[in-house]
Amino acid sequence: MANDQRNLFNFRYCCCVLVFLSTFSSISFLYWSHCSKCCYSEIQTAVQEQNRTINLLTYPSAWNNLNFPSKPPARLLKVALFVKKWPDKHHAGGLERHATTLHLTLVERGHELHIFTTASSNSFMEYPMSNLKFHLSKPTAAGYLDQAGVWKQFQTENSTGRAFDVIHTESVGLMHTRARDLTNLAVSWHGIAYESIHSDIIQELLRSPDKPQSNLLTQRAKKVVEEVRFFPRYAHHVATSDHVGDVLKRIYMIPEDRVHIILNGVYEGVFKPDALKAKVFKSKFGIPQSKALVLGMAGRLVKDKGHPLMFQALKQILKENSTIRDNVMVLVAGDGPWGERYKELGSNLLVLGPLEQAELAGFYNAIDILVNPTLRAQGLDHTLLEAVLTGKPLMATKLASITESVIVSKEIGYTFSPNVPSLKKALYEVWEDGRVILEKKGQLARERGLKLYTATKMAAAYERLFLCIAHDREYRRDYCKYQQQVG
């Protein structure tokens, strides 16, 4: 009887164990199945994120951050460009320099470019390329494009053979009254009225008490209202800085799919580190090798570029600090009335006059840091980008386009408020950091610059935009999509 009870207990025990194992296996299977689905879903999501397709027209950041194909596209475009002045290769302002750098790069990539500009010089004769054509017209009394004349030229070319795929205007080269019905048009802004308000405030704060108050701010506010009204007549807008892109969307209320940020770019093959060029440049202009620090400034030497401030700051520092006076050299490249004033500061200042592009490359290599004291909050200054690609750190005014697109951290440069005390403080900080730290900052600046500010990156971004907005709607669809690789 005892044996029977023991056997019955063992049987029940085995059954309980089997039930427990069966239940545990079912739960494990269900959990495994659930996890498998979750893991598969997570993996699938990760793959989708790594290969995310974005709509370029609504991309919120600078297109320079994206990597477009280095080879020219299968479809080559016929592009019309309207620009007030087409300069020679060596003397150009910011807008003109942007026009030549961008469009000559597009020509080299095989696109057909038609330049509608004023017959102000014979500089067009410097370009013998068969796919680059100039349509010249007599400028107005104010020096602008004669809108009726260039529009007639445009219509004649547009109706002869192949029509234009895309139209590009540098600022208001083509007025909004002509551009409003062109859906395949993009305008690049190198300065807008809202951005200039900051400059007007600075000028008013710097105004001498014995001079009358200016009405610039009132006039500028009216100009902003005027621009807000007519800007939407242009189909697509290219902001040359992150700040202007934000202003066009928020203040000017232009839809986000019509505002595109493409930062300016400069020739990376010209502006690059070159110790030999630095040596040759210093030898040519008699710059002593013994100097512990060489500062550089480049551009127009006029009031709104901040040279009165720079003059006062340098004058005070050279007077109060003999060590800096004995060991620092300041090179000034450019022309304008403040060139003569700088000569008053003695042998520490060397005014070089205007330099050609090849000489500018030597200039940047010869200095330790580029200083830009500009008071003009307009566009993205090319001198900053040229210095960066040459491997030099920057020191510049705290203007939104500069601090948001170029000097984004202390690791690559210095910023100051537009007044003498702040400028002096920044100059002293540069002196205390010395050449070794400046070289490290310059290296970091160049690494970032090669990803954003090259002519190749800029032209590739514009090319993709032009392909995206081109006249042929069926063909352009794929060019408005970008396969973004994450990680």
* CATH code for the part of the protein at 275-453: 3.40.50.2000
pTM of the predicted protein model: 0.86
At 268-289, the pLDDT tens digits run 999 999 999 999 999 999 999 8
At 309-362, the pLDDT tens digits run 999 999 999 999 999 999 999 999 999 999 999 999 999 999 999 998 889 999
- Which letter does DSSP use for residue 393 in this model? -
Share of the chain above pLDDT 90, in %: 72
Quick one: which of 99, 50, 107 has its CA closest to 382? 99
Share of the chain above pLDDT 70, in %: 85
Q: Which fold has domain 58-265+456-483?
A: Rossmann fold (3.40.50)
160-164, 237-241, 255-259, 367-371: the lowest-pLDDT one: 160-164
The whole-number pLDDT of residue 43 equals 43
Q: Taking 60 as the threshold, does the pLDDT of residue 366 lie above it?
A: yes
In angstroms, the CA 448 to CA 389 distance is 9
- Give the tokens for residue 199: 């400059």
Query: DSSP 3-state assignment of 479?
Result: helix
At 27-73, the pLDDT tens digits run 444 444 554 444 444 444 444 445 688 999 999 999 999 999 999 99
Task: For 414, list phi and psi in degrees, rounded to 5.
Answer: -125, 145
The whole-number pLDDT of residue 161 equals 80
Which residues of the chain are in CATH 3.40.50.2000 domains? 58-265+456-483, 275-453
How crowded is residue 481: how many other Cβ atoms within 10 Å of its Cβ? Answer: 13
**At what angle are helices 216-230 and 193-206 packed, to 10 degrees?**
170
At 159-189, the pLDDT tens digits run 988 999 999 999 999 999 999 999 999 999 9
The whole-number pLDDT of residue 486 equals 58
The whole-number pLDDT of residue 1 equals 47
Task: For 325, list phi and psi in degrees, rounded to 5.
Answer: -60, -35
Task: For 334, list phi and psi in degrees, rounded to 5.
Answer: 140, 175
The whole-number pLDDT of residue 116 equals 96
In angstroms, the CA 319 to CA 251 distance is 46
441: enclosing H helix or E strand:
helix 420-452
Which is it for strands 166-170 and 78-82: parallel, antiparallel or unpaired? parallel
In angstroms, the CA 145 to CA 48 distance is 49
